[in-house]
Amino acid sequence: MTKRGDKVEFFPFQGAGTDTDEFNKIITKGSNSIISNTRLLEKEIEKFKTSDKRKWMIEGERYYEGEQDILSHKRKVIGNGGRLVIAENLPNNQRLDNQYAKLVDQKVNYQLGKPLTLETEDETYLKLLQRIFNKRFHRTLRNLGLDALNGGIAWLYPYYNEQGEFTFKRFLNSEILPFWKDAEHTILDSAVRMYTESGYEGDQEVLYDKVEVYTVNGVKCYVWFNGRLVEDVENPPFSYLTTTDEEGNEIQLNWQRVPLIPFKFNSKEIPLIKRVKSLQDGINLMLSIFENNMQEDARSTILILHNYDGQNLGEFRRNLSQYGAVKVRSADGSRGGVESLQIDVNSDNYKAILSLFKKALIENGRGYDAKDERMANNPNQMNIQSMYSDIDLDANGIETEFQASFEELLWFVNMHLVNTGKGDFEDEEVNVIFNRDILINETESINNIVNSTMLSTETLVSQHPWIKDVQLELDRIKKEKEKEINDYRNAFPKRGGVVE
Distances (CA, A) of 417 to 12, 137, 347, 443: 19, 17, 64, 43
Residue 142 lies in a domain: no
| pTM, to two decimals | 0.78
Residues 6+ apart with CB under 8 A from 437: 109, 110, 113, 114
Better-scored residue on pLDDT, 349 or 324: 349
H-state helical runs in 65-134: 99-112, 123-132
Query: How many domains are contained in the chain?
Result: 3
Domain residue limits at 202: 11-50+155-264
pLDDT of residue 359: 94
Q: Hey, which residues does 495 pair with through a beta bridge?
A: 498
Q: Domain boundary residue among 336, 355, 372?
A: 372
Identify the band that residue 6 occupies on the pLDDT scale cut at 50, 70 and 90: very low
Task: Looking at the structure, tell me whether residues 301 and 256 fall in a common domain.
Answer: no
CA distance 255 to 235: 20
Which tens digit of pLDDT belongs to each residue from 435-492?
A: 887 655 456 567 677 777 777 887 777 777 677 777 788 888 888 888 888 887 787 7
CA distance 250 to 280: 55
Query: pLDDT tens across 95-133, in order?
Result: 999 999 999 999 999 999 989 989 999 999 999 999 999
- Of 205, 236, 264, the domain-final residue: 264
pLDDT band at 22 (very low <50, low <70, confident <90, very high): low
Q: Do residues 445 and 361 both lie within one domain?
A: no
378 CB burial (10 A radius; 0-12, 13-18, 19+): exposed
Q: What is the mean pLDDT of the chain?
A: 82
pLDDT of 40: 86
| Residue environment code for 452-483, b if the CB has 16+ CB neighbours within 10 A, otherwise e | eeeeeeeeebbeeeeeeebbebeeeeeeeeee
pLDDT at residue 376 in the model: 59
474 in the same domain as 361? no
Q: What angle do the packed helices 123-132 and 389-419 form, to 10 degrees?
A: 110
Query: Does some domain include residue 123?
Result: no
Helix ranges (H only) for 123-245 are: 123-132, 135-151
Looking at the predicted structure, is the pLDDT value of residue 14 above 70? no
Query: pLDDT class for 147, splitting at 50, 70, 90?
Result: very high
d(CA 345, CA 180): 56
pLDDT at 434: 92
pLDDT tens column, 332-370: 656 666 666 555 678 888 999 999 999 999 999 999 887
The pLDDT assigned to 305 comes to 65
Q: What are phi and psi of 397, to 5 degrees?
A: -65, -40
Q: How far apart are CA 434 and CA 114, in angstroms?
A: 8
Q: For residues 328 and 247, state if they share a domain.
A: no
**What pairing do the DSSP bridges indicate for beta strands 250-254 and 11-12?**
antiparallel
User: For the segment 370-390, what is each residue's pLDDT rounded down to a tens digit?
Assistant: 777 666 566 666 767 777 888
CA-based nearest residue to 405, from 208, 196, 112: 112
Asked, for residue 62, whether it belongs to a domain, the answer is no
Q: Rounded to an integer, what distance in angstroms lies between the CA atom of residue 427 and that of residue 419?
A: 16
- One domain, residues 39 and 186: yes
In a domain, 79, yes or no: no
Give me the mean pLDDT over the 138-162 stretch.
Answer: 96
Place 9 in a pLDDT band, splitting at 50, 70 and 90: very low
Same domain assignment for residues 253 and 278:
no
Structure-derived torsion over alpha carbons of residues 423, 424, 426, 428, reported in degrees to the nearest 10: -60
Residue 44 falls inside a structural domain: yes
User: Based on the domain organization, do 323 and 445 belong to the same domain?
Assistant: no
Q: What's the half-sphere exposure (Cβ side, CA atoms, 13 Å) at 434? A: 23
Same domain, 248 and 289: no
d(CA 471, CA 464): 13
Co-location of 222 and 299 in the same domain: no
Q: How confident is the model at residue 315 (pLDDT cuts 50, 70, 90)?
A: low
Q: Are residues 285 and 170 in the same domain?
A: no
One-letter amino acid of 61: E
Kindly give the residue spans of alpha helices, DSSP state H, lying in 171-328.
273-295, 313-323
Under 8 Å CB-to-CB from 50, ≥6 apart: which residues? none
> Is residue 219 included in any domain, yes or no?
yes
Among 264, 282, 307, identify where a domain stops: 264
Residue 19 has pLDDT above 60, yes or no: no
